[in-house]
Amino acid sequence: MLRIPASSAITAFSAHSEPVAVVALGEAFECETQDCYAGQITSEAVLRPHIDMAHFNPATGPVFVEGVLAGDVIRVDIEAIDIGEAGIMALSPGLGVLGDRIAAADTRVVPIADGQAWVTPELPVPVAPMIGVLGVAPAGDPIGTSWPGTHGGNLDTRILRAGSALLLRAQHDGALVAVGDLHAVQGDGELGGTGVEIAGRVRLRVSAVGAEAYASELPAVVHEAGLSLLGSAATLDEAVRIAFAGAVDLVGGWRGLAWEDAYRATSLVARTEVSQLVNPLVTARVTIPRGWCPAALFEAPPAGAARG
């Protein structure tokens, strides 16, 4: 299987970035990833204000996917996430929704052992590895890897875990996929401005999705409970509005409903959650239950030939 080293990384999604690898549709590949600090925090003596933010949030890639054309909807299946032996939780004044209460920067190295993130020796939290950054090159100007958007990017959505898949509309031929910013565990909202930031490896597989199953410009996560559309905007209200509007349009298209009836139905069955409140744009998700979605969205994509 093709493995891409963490040294092959970008800090902005861009069509101008040269691909570091080429894969076929349906071919599994593995990306090694750095933590969001690019390995700069090596001990608790290193504080967040000390790091070079020019290297912040590196994403391994981009990977060119043969057979993908601009405008195609792709499905990026997350087949496995392997995380390192220790992560970082760095606090700094202004970080997170209560950042005004942080008087001084402080770094905590969090050991990972026995399926737990040991925030303190007395406080284990079960690990739930997930991807913070996953996206494709945008149609317009480059977008930094700290930003979420219709291209994906820094979605910080905790359901982006092994066994789920991210739907994205390719905006260039080959899509130019990149991934990074793993968390050993992160709560909804990433309210403190950080998960357990950690290096690791991710195995991905990209396949194509037909317009009859998914006809939206928004990123969406396919998972066991349903389909979660992701909206990102300057405010939470607007992010929810974007995701809900996409959900209404999909339900109407799938069920052959007038917009008004799709609006009624989606308002009854959808679930709204917050993915993150701490990036340059906030991200909300609106989940359509599985029973309301096309079954084809939950079928495993065909595997391609492995690279020897």
113, containing H or E segment: strand 106-113
**Ordered structural domains, the chain, with CATH:** 2-298 (2.60.120.580)
DSSP letters spanning 1-69: -EEE-TTSEESEE-TTSPPSEEEETT-EEEEEE--TTTT---STTS-GGGS-GGG-S-EEEEEEEET--
Contact between residue 165 and residue 222 where contact means Cβ atoms under 8 Å apart: yes
The tokens of 299 are what?
């079928």
CA dist., res. 65 & res. 85, Å (int): 31
Mind listing the pLDDT tens digit of every residue in the chain (308 residues)? Answer: 999 999 999 999 999 999 999 999 999 999 999 999 999 999 999 999 999 999 999 999 999 999 999 999 999 999 999 999 999 999 999 999 999 999 999 999 999 999 999 999 999 999 999 999 999 999 999 999 999 999 999 999 999 999 999 999 999 999 999 999 999 999 999 999 999 999 999 999 999 999 899 999 999 999 999 999 999 999 999 999 999 999 999 999 999 999 999 999 999 999 999 999 999 999 999 999 999 999 999 987 776 644 33
